[in-house]
Structure 1
Amino acid sequence: MLAVFEKATGNPPEELRLPSVGLDSDGKGTREEILQTFRLLWPESTFYHLSNGNFMTLSHGAQSPLHPSRSMVVMDDIFCIFIGTLVNICELRRHYGLSRQATEAMLVVDAYKVLRDRAPYPPDQVIKDLEGKFAFIIFDAKSGTLFVARDREGSIQLKWGMAGDGSLVLSDDPNTIEKACGKSSASFPPGCIFMNGNGLISIDHPLHKVKAIACQDDDGKICGVMFQVDLFTRLQSIPRNGSAANWADTAIVEGD
């Protein structure tokens, strides 16, 4: 799985650049180079070319009983890649009024549409209802909204990084991230939601900042970055005005 969004759309956290501070862009690619490399490795993949050179792609080559289930759907100009399983999918289908044929990817798209269209509605409350092992990426082509989530245990591998042109890169394959982003990458934090207008939000602690922490090697040099909830820093909440135009305004913004 791979999704790449230009800097203006993906709005990646600047902290992803930390391990590469002081280095040149060697080992980091542009969106075009990343796409070309992935297509050579996984020619049978399903590709969706989005606006402004953005794209989402899913390879089915690694699909086996030993690997988590993966699917990709497009509904009403909403693109979704879902990896993993929801153990309470039957209950969720009834809750959202979906048929028995609705997949996990279809279900999370419906959940997103509830957040978008029935504001005010806090996104962390909806994600809390999802029980299982999962990671997913949603892109709403009409509004330009990017929505990423990973389960609390981090059961499904998901990494993100910053490409040479500042684009946001998301993938479940560490090798793909390394080739695309070099050192400017990290594990997507478990139990978190990322929205391109609001940054990272913790599912269980939505009123607290998700903080980037630099990791150092034995020589004191920054060798990586990790994100975790800072229970000592509380965020301000945006007044819930019920606007359907920007559903992310019902969530939380990052503080200083």
Structure 2
Amino acid sequence: MLAVFEKAIGNPPEELGLPSVGFDCKKTREEISETFRLLWPESTFYHLSNGNFMTLSHDEARPPLHQRSMFVTDDIFCIFIGTLVNICELRRHYGLSRQATEAMLMVDAYKVLRDRAPYPPDQVIKDLQGKFAFVLFDAKSSTLFVARDREGSVELKWGMAGDGSLVLSDDPNTIQEACGKFSASFPPGCIFINSNGLISIDHPLHKVKAIAREDEDGNICGVMFQVDLLSRLPSIPRTGSAANWADATTAVEGE
């Protein structure tokens, strides 16, 4: 799986660009796309606006460690990797058929979250039980929604390309080829929404901070992200309908 979004949409954390040592092999979106096509020519490519894209490989010679599904509807694109053990319960909750895949489920959950539900995104992800990571993009609103389970059971990396684009992939080699040292593991148990940044599923009122890793000479050689329990946000970041999110904020603050 590979998803690449220009800087204006992906809004990658600035800390991904911190490393100051090592060979800089970052590529542009166009170069990343071409490299991936050469390696996995059978992949399903979805071309988005302004050179952004999402793609999923189906190469039988490279069997995935986890199930993969992709679903597209109403200009919403979702790649889901992994399995939800409570998918039957979630299908009933969202009124979906027994044939609905995890990717279909996430698109429906996102629509409810965006249009109708008076609760924050961390509450939606808390309902997911299993091993998973997903990347969802709403092309109409340019909303990017990414999440990974608490244990980090499914590999998910993110990085910054040479043109500042955000790169997401479950393949470490792909991230390394595209971003070089300007990459890191997507933090387990976290949500990323391009308009709000990182949010912890279990500690949504605390900041998720970047921690720089240094080599023996004191040069920054990488970065990792973790929840800072000593910090506290004034409120849980919201997206979507202003009225719906206002209701959600009021409900949370009133608890």
Report whether the alignment pairs 1:17 with 2:14: no
Partner of 1:167 in structure 2? 165
Q: Deviations over 1:30-79 (max 9, x none)?
A: 00000000000000000000011100000011587762000111011100
Percent identical: 81
**Inter-partner Cα distance in structure 1 for 2:29 and 2:237:** 37
Q: Secondary structure in 2 aligned to 1:233? A: coil
Q: Which residue of 2 aligns with 1:144?
A: 142
TM-score by length of structure 1 reads 0.91
> Quick one: distance in 2 between partners of 1:157 and 1:67?
9
Q: Which aligned pairs between 1:172-183 and structure 2 lie closer than 5 A?
A: 172-183=170-181
Amino acid at match of 1:179: E
Q: Is 2:207 the counterpart of 1:209?
A: yes
**Structure 2 runs not aligned, ≥5 long:** 250-255
Contact 2:21 2:220 (C-alpha < 8 Å) held by counterparts: no
| Structure 2 equivalent of residue 112 of structure 1 | 110
- The Cα RMSD (Å) is 2.2
Cα distance in 2 for residues equivalent to 1:109 and 1:205: 24
TM-score normalized with structure 2 length? 0.91
Q: Equivalent residue for 1:126?
A: 124
Cα distance between partner residues in 2 of 1:78 and 1:164: 26
Residue 161 of structure 1 contacts residue 185 of structure 1 at CA under 8 Å; is this kept in 2? yes
SS across alignment from 1:232: coil
Change (3 A) 1:63 1:233: farther
Whole-Å separation in 1 of the counterparts to 2:103 and 2:39: 25
Identify the match of residue 98 of structure 1 among 87, 96, 99. Answer: 96
Change (3 A) 1:27 1:167: same
SS in 1 for 2:207: strand
How many residues are aligned here? 248
Matched, 1:7 2:3: no
Report if aligned partners of 1:159, 1:186 keep a CA contact under 8 Å in 2: yes
Q: Mind listing any 5+ residue stretches in structure 1 that lack a counterpart?
A: 252-256
Structure 1 moving runs of 4+ over 4 Å = 62-66, 245-251
* CA pair 46-66 structure 1, distance change in 2 beyond 3 A: closer
Which secondary structure state, in structure 2, belongs to the residue aligned with residue 206 of structure 1?
coil
Show the counterpart of 1:230. Answer: 228
